[in-house]
Amino acid sequence: MPPKRCTAHPGQAGRGGKPSPQFLFDARDEFGIDLARSYLIGDKLIDLECGWNAGVRASILVRTGYGAETERKQAGPITRAVVVDDLTAAADWILRSLDIQPLNR
């Protein structure tokens, strides 16, 4: 299945702009995704909020991109998030949360 991403500008009025989870609901309906067993990975608070609004298992903040700045400036709101260094660390965290040993790199 191809990755889904929100193409609407953040905060844009309408059904698709984050933090609205509508694009995740659309993916759920199209592909039969169980959002409660899914994860959202992003580098901005609005990404994390989208995941929380959709009811994903965890929203994960990566420190790459805008993530380190988000962590500094939005420390309070991101306390619900898992914070990791990069996408590889996010994948490792997900695997460990499922009791699956990550591959040695």
CATH number of the domain to which 77 belongs: 3.40.50.1000
pTM given for the model:
0.83
**Nearest-CA neighbor of 63 among 76, 81, 77, 49?**
81
For residue 89, give Cα distances in angstroms to 47, 60, 64, 85, 93.
18, 10, 11, 6, 6
- Number of neighbouring beta carbons within 10 Å of residue 75: 10
Residue pLDDT tens, the chain, 105 long: 555 555 555 555 556 678 899 999 999 999 999 999 999 999 999 999 999 999 999 999 999 999 999 999 999 999 999 999 999 999 999 999 998 877 776
Range of the domain at 86: 22-97
Distances in whole angstroms, Cα of residue 19 to Cα of each of 8, 9, 45, 57: 10, 10, 9, 16
Domain count within the chain? 1
Q: Does some domain include residue 103?
A: no
Between CA 56 and CA 37 the distance in angstroms is 6
